[in-house]
Structures are given as structure tokens and as C-alpha cells.
Amino acid sequence: MDRSRDDGAFKRRRLFIVLSLMAVVAVVFFHWCFGWVVVIGDSMQPTYRSGDLLFVQRAAYRGTDPERGDIIVARFRSDWIVKRIIALPGESVEVQEGVVRVNGKPVCEPYPVQPGALTIGRGDLSEERWAVLGDNRSLADSSLFYAVIPRQSIMGKVVTSVRWH
């Protein structure tokens, strides 16, 4: 029996097992740290369009809180939504003629926003609640893109996007 042939087969099997284990670990790690969603609807225009693919960092808020301006993916009722955080726990928030006001003062929004006449009455956020809103303020039905989200509903932070249409 040729021992060098047996050694070669053993090395190939060992390499296959090591590579397979590395692939499984990489997939599990990626799934634990990242996710992806496809945008459906116009509420985040002009930032994102329907059909854009978004990559979500699931671990973004482990040890830190979401901040104003972050774009998140969250569970709202029975749907996954993509929205921008406009107000933080303990703040009061309202939208007047498309302008976000937090604690009575207009918020500087350095990102692109679709202007509109959207008005949402004042509300106070309790602990562990974030107010989120779409960037398209021209939509007529605010229930489609405004929500108050509890911490446990937040999947993660959008870190990049791919426009493939």
C-alpha cells in the first residue's frame, strides 16, 4: 500500500473539513451581525427608492443607543419598516408643515428630505421609545411612515445600500 497516497487523501479531507467549518462559522457570524432588506414603498425617498437593497448591522446597538438621524430597520405591527430616527426617549416631537420639531425647536436635518406639508401632532416619548419618520414628507398618510418604536423592535442600523434598478 502506498502511504503517500493515503497521506494526500487525509490532507485533502482535513482541508475540506476545515474549509467547511470556516464557511459555516462565517455564515453564522454574518447572520448574527448583519442582515439585509429590500425597500418597499416611497416613504424614504429621496434617500432610498423602492427596490433598493439595504445592508443592516444587527450589532450596531449592542452597548449603545440609536441616535437621531440613524436609519434603522424595525418591526412595526406585523411589518418590517425602514425609517429615520427623529426623536429620542424622553423628548417631545411634532411635525409642522414637514418640519420636525423636538422639544419645540426645529431639528437641523443635514440629509436630503422630500419637502411636503406633513403635520403630526405633538407627542411625548417614554423611556425606551424612539420616534421614526420617512424622509418623504409629501405623502398624505402619515400612518404609512411615522411610528414610535420600542427598543426591542429595532433590528439594526442601515450601513449601506445597493441600487440595482
CA–CA gap between residue 2 and residue 85 (Å, rounded): 67
Identify which of 156, 111, 162, 159 has the alpha carbon closest to the alpha carbon of residue 136: 111
Residue 43 is a catalytic residue: yes
Q: Give me the catalytic one of 11, 20, 83, 92.
A: 83
Q: Grid cell 420639531 — which residue?
A: 101
The catalytic position among 20, 43, 105, 138 is: 43
Can you give the length of the chain in residues?
165
CB 132 within 8 A of CB 120: no
**Terminal-to-terminal C-alpha distance of the chain:** 60
- Can you tell me whether residue 142 is helix, strand or coil? helix
Q: Is 20 an annotated catalytic residue?
A: no
Residues in Cβ contact with 90 at an 8 Å cutoff, skipping those fewer than 6 apart: 125, 126, 127
Q: Which residues are identified as catalytic? A: 43, 83
